[in-house]
Amino acid sequence: MSQAEAIYALWLREFKVFTREKSRIVSSIFTPMLWIFVFGGGLGSAINIGNVNYQIFIYPGILVMSVLFSSVFFGVYVIWDRKIDILKAILVAPLSRTTIFVGKVLGGCTDSMIQALIMLLVSFILGIYLTVSSFLLAITILFLLALSLVSTGLIIGSLMESPEGFNMIISFLIFPLFFFSGALFPIDNLPIWLSFITYINPVTYGVDALRMAIIGVSQFPLYVDLIVLTGFAVVMFTIGTRTFERMK
């Protein structure tokens, strides 16, 4: 009953803030565009992977990157909310911590998914034609990723006191997650150490599944990817609710 409405209200707040801070969306889309058109376009003029042009090959990886960055960075707003005392007003309201966490997660996922949708439109420019089912599959994969990564960001944000500290932790986390995900190179022929790190990185399975959905090539069977992604989401979401429960 009222918990659903409370979650809606928490989400609404995040959504309104998002729509009013246009710079958030512009900056989060700018970098992926550079990767696709400059890096991808440049290397793509010379390189094919299998029989896929390099620019097309990294496009799913860059989609994942944009969701990865915006989702994890969403956690920093918890720190700002705390700094300007808005968090205190939310914590003193008769809402369970789980409710607050769910509201925040949905807010963060909405931000990320709006960016993902804009990025998906780029497929037309690249000459990729998505069927309805591959589009829906892509959305599902990106949502699962956003769910786990927003949770991750919120966990870190709720434990940190300063935005500077958050940014430091994040750069140690986000770049490895990105570079060791196979977003930029195929993962079937890697040296042992690299392939080990790549295989234990959950983001890898997001890239792999998305590549399957968008260009029809992949390393693992789709169901394996989806199981890993779902498991990752469940784990991070659970840890997130626990962390919020303890947050002071």
Partner 1 sequence: MDNAIKTINLTKKFKDITAVEDLNVEIKQGEIFGLLGPNGAGKTTTISMLCTILKPTEGSAQVNGYDILKEPEKVRKSIGIVFQQPSVDDILTGLENLRLHAMWYGVPKETRKNRIDEVLELVGLQSRQNSLVKTYSGGMRRRLELARGLLHLPNVLFLDEPTLGLDPQTREHIWKYIEKMSREREMTIVLTTHYMEEADNLCDRVAIIDQGKIVVMDAPDSLKEKVGGDIVYLKTTAADTNKFKEIEEVSKIEKKDDCIILTVKNAGEHLQEILEISGKVERVEVRSASLEDVFINYTGKEIRAETGEGGIVQRIIKERTVR
Nearer to partner 1, 80 or 196 (CB): 80
Nearer to partner 1, 12 or 47 (CB): 12
Nearer to partner 1, 93 or 227 (CB): 93
- Give the shortest CB-10-to-partner 1 separation in angstroms: 8
Closest CA to 233 of 153, 157, 147: 147
Nearer to partner 1, 9 or 239 (CB): 9
Nearer to partner 1, 62 or 95 (CB): 95
- Name the token pair of 181: 């995900």
Residues facing residue 53 across a β-bridge: 48
The reply on whether position 12 binds partner 1 by CB under 8 A is yes
Q: Select the residue interacting with partner 1 from 26, 85, 121, 216 (CB under 8 A).
A: 85
Q: Select the residue interacting with partner 1 from 26, 46, 89, 192 (CB under 8 A).
A: 89
Q: Is the CA virtual torsion 66, 68, 69, 71 positive or negative?
A: positive
Instruction: Determine the interface stretch with partner 1 among 62-70, 88-96, 143-151, 191-199 (rule: CB under 8 A).
Output: 88-96
Q: Select the residue interacting with partner 1 from 27, 45, 96, 171 (CB under 8 A).
A: 96
The reply on whether position 88 binds partner 1 by CB under 8 A is yes
Q: Select the residue interacting with partner 1 from 90, 122, 217, 224 (CB under 8 A).
A: 90
Q: Which stretches of the chain bind partner 1, using CB under 8 A? A: 2, 5-6, 8-10, 12-13, 16-17, 20-21, 84-86, 88-96
